[in-house]
Amino acid sequence: MSADRHRGSSRSFVRHQKVLVKNVRGEGVQWMPGVIRSVISLITYLAVVKGPFRFVHADHLRSSEIAVPQKSQLITASPISPVQVTVFYEALCPDSRSFFIKQLIPTFEKASRLVDIALVPYGKAKTEVVEGGGYSFMCQHGPIECEANKIHACAVVKVRHEATRLQFIACMIADNLRPTDIGQSCAGQWNIAWEPILECATGSEGSDLLKRHGDATDALNPKATFIPTILLDQSQERQPAILKDLFKEVCHELKNYKAEECQ
């Protein structure tokens, strides 16, 4: 059974797969060659495009085997290409909690069509490879945070409906000191199947997902010095402004489109 009651569809890619990455410039779109570096979730990938890393939504990827127009040919863009908002955070971090509750959720509720949101729960944690297989994690706010980070990482994969996924994680982050209990309670509130998330979080899948989030966090350039760190279309610029007013900064990114939500 799916972890929520909504069905979604997305393209699926694997590590080291050659892909084409959507690159929006002005009123045109180009598809740039790249390679999948890491699978962050079912809808979010870390890709290498002309050297730098990018966090890319599945809807902005194509298999390189699919024929597309040459780089010199521009494709008419959709009226608005959503801003990709990538949130690097920790489950027990007070600043992460504040960003979710005061910025991320309100922005999504005001203008869901203007944003694609990718969540990367890891922060300033450390990962060690365990002899014999598997991973050990040391989180900034202790073992409880590692437990909560795994639940969040599993929810990102198991809850396919974006609005439900955000509300579940916001519900959890408001009171993460008992991650399993609050996770089950929040799942009930949002009509989400809890068992697939719990099975993931307590098994090797949860550890593998958290390791991937660690790889994605460590790949940031420049390195994250503050949690949460927010990327808008892969850029770390204007962090203080984003943390203060995410909606305003999303509208700033889309100023050429004159989105009605931003007027």
> Residues near 117 by Cβ (< 8 Å), separated by ≥ 6?
85, 86, 87, 104, 108, 162, 166
Q: Tokens at residue 72, please?
A: 């010199």
Over residues 74-86, the mean pLDDT reads: 70
- Does the pLDDT at position 66 exceed 80? no
Domain parsing of the chain, residue ranges: 18-76, 83-241
pTM of the model: 0.75
| Contact assessment for residue 106 and residue 117, using Cβ atoms and an 8 Å cutoff | no
Q: What are the pLDDT digits (tens) for 43-53? A: 677 777 765 56
Q: CA torsion sign, 178 to 180 to 181 to 182? A: positive
- Does the pLDDT at position 244 exceed 90? yes
Q: 83-241 is classed in which CATH architecture?
A: 3-Layer(aba) Sandwich (3.40)
